[in-house]
Structure 1
Amino acid sequence: MNQHTLSMRLERVAAHMPAGARLADIGSDHGYLPVALMRRGLIAAAVAGEVALTPFHAAQRTVRDNGLEKQITVRRANGLEAIEPQDDITAISLCGMGGETIRDILENGKARLSGQERLILQPNGGEQPLRQWLMENSYRIVSEELLSENSFYYEIIVAERAGPVVYSAEELYFGPLQMQARSPVFLSKWQRILRHKQQTLAQFAKARQAVPDVKVHEVAQQARWITELLG
């Protein structure tokens, strides 16, 4: 993967970018996503934010090597602290981190969100607490996508602030739009997870030490939801 050829995961993230967006790519790593989007003429400007020194320098190098220093600003900052008011950001991407980490970045940086941005989120697990945060902060999920790459499942969640929104516990767990679409990759993912849940429940039953009732109940409920979903 480089600024010319993105991974399938980042290509799908790119597909949800509004044309002419002013992007903040938080946790930009090498800066491949904003550079690729800029080279294709799909965005107007970008900020690449990175808290760790090595990827920060890598992003600077990628931007410099492509002659895009005027269009893409690389900032070393923690989370949404990379965004300044004068950036006029219209899209924020957060990719390749746990859902809880993305949630915490959004929560800690809430003051820097205008509410006009499209959020394009690609969590590695932890989607449920992330969707919970979106609901509690009046973000409606406008698109969801699930893809399988190198035997991993990746979810992309696109959200926009749209006033109060309510999702059921099951919708937060599976994804409200994914539940409706029921794509083959979605069903395959949940078949795999159901097998894992059933194995976990069997291990709980054999465990020498009592597993807390609340934990058993949680896993059993999830297994029940998945069974009903696949039914």
Structure 2
Amino acid sequence: MKIKLSPRLEVIAGCVTGACSMADIGTDHGYLPVYLIENKGVSGAIASDINQKPLKKAQKIIDTQQLQKQIETRLGSGLSVLKPGEVEVVVMAGMGGLLIRDLLKVQPAVARAAKKLVLQPMNNQAVLRRYLETAGFLITREELAREGDRVYEIIVAEPGAMIVTTPLEYELGFEYYRHQHPLLGALIDRKIFLEQQIVASTQGRTTAVAAKQFQESSRFIEKLNEVKKCLSN
């Protein structure tokens, strides 16, 4: 069976290319490690999940592709399934940004021993980037992937010092203004759309929380529109 990845997983796989070993934390169906072994020169992988059901699906695909010697499945939460330095690259994709941050916090030795982290948060990307900065990680690469009306943000980080020059880097990616991705405009449009929904839901409400959220979202939309205008010039 030939494994076909979604656009999101294709971009993530591209960020892993060149590594000898990797771990897919929260592997779900196991497509990513199988694809990397078969197509990208990865020689060994660990596929883990906190739930038994998706891990069984991953094991079935691994067995079908006869990759039992190259890919090991492990049941457990986050980086607790790994020893420091056991793999070169750790992938954590398809989770919330807060969860990824918390899983990195729980096992800092494992996170820092990896040569590279490939992270794809579904939300709270800015929170995750702020954590990486304060925890002593350098974002070395940012990628975007589009599926339908969603634009996914992929963050590649390794131990190091990061200097953020503008708060918008937390929202749009490290050095977004220098390395302008072809999908940056689409990402900005998506963020504007989501903030507009917040503005619509909080407009006219008198509670302090709603009023604060309305103001913050309105200001954020203005900043995003400014960036979008600069991109078109």
User: By the TM > 0.5 criterion, same fold?
Assistant: yes
In 1, the alpha carbon distance for the partners of 2:129 and 2:178 equals 16
Distance of 1:46 and 1:75 partners within structure 2? 11
Query: Which whole-Å CA distance do the structure 1 matches of 2:194 and 2:54 have between them?
Result: 35
How do residues 36-55 of structure 1 correspond to structure 2 at under 5 angstroms?
Answer: 36-40=35-39, 42-55=41-54
Select 2:207's aligned residue among 210, 225, 230. 210
TM-score with structure 2 length normalisation?
0.87
Write out per-residue CA displacement over residues 155-205 of structure 1, whole angstroms, 9 at most, x where no aligned residue.
11111112x223232211211233333344211331343254345435534
Look up the SS of the partner of 2:176 in the other structure: helix
Query: Separation in 1 of the partners of 2:133 and 2:91?
Result: 18
Q: Which residue of 2 aligns with 1:169?
A: 167
Q: CA deviation at 1:214?
A: 3.4
CA contact (8 A) 1:76 1:82 kept: yes
Cα deviation code 1:132-163 (max 9, x no counterpart): 1111112111111112112211111111112x
Deviation at 1:89, TM superposition (A): 0.9
* Compared CA separation, residues 206 and 136, structure 1 to 2 (3 A): same
Distance 1:84 1:204, change over 3 A: closer
Secondary structure of the structure 2 residue equivalent to 1:5 = coil
Q: Distance in 1 between matches of 2:71 and 2:131?
A: 29
Q: Conserved in 2, the CA contact under 8 Å of 1:194 and 1:223?
A: yes
- Corresponding residue of 2:32: 33
Task: Map 1:8-87 to 2 at 5 A.
Answer: 8-40=7-39, 42-85=41-84
Q: Is residue 99–residue 126 contact of structure 1 (8 Å, CA) maintained in 2?
A: yes
Deviations 1:50-102 (A, max 9, x none): 111100111111212222111111000111011134x6211001111111111
Comparing 26-35 with 141-150, which one deviates more in the overlay?
Answer: 141-150
Match of 2:132 in 1: 134
Distance 1:34 1:25 in 2: 7
- Report SS of the residue matched to 2:43: strand
- Given the alignment of the two structures, is residue 7 of structure 1 paired with residue 6 of structure 2, yes or no? yes
Detail structure 1 runs of 4+ shifted over 6 Å in the superposition: none
User: Aligned partners of 2:155, 2:65: CA distance in 1, in Å?
Assistant: 29
In 1, the alpha carbon distance for the partners of 2:80 and 2:33 equals 18
Partner of 1:100: 98
Please report the TM-score for the alignment, with normalisation by the length of structure 1: 0.88
- Equivalent pairs: percent with the same residue? 30
CA RMSD of aligned residues (A): 2.1
CA deviation profile, 1:18-48 (whole Å, cap 9, x unmatched): 4242101100011111111111251121111
Unaligned ranges ≥5, structure 2: none
Provide the secondary structure at the position in 2 that maps to 1:177.
coil
1:3–1:33 Cα contact (<8 Å) kept:
no
Query: Any stretches of 5+ residues in structure 1 without a counterpart?
Result: none
2:178 maps to 180
Looking at structure 2, the residues matched to 115 and 6 of structure 1 have their Cα atoms a distance apart, in angstroms, of 28
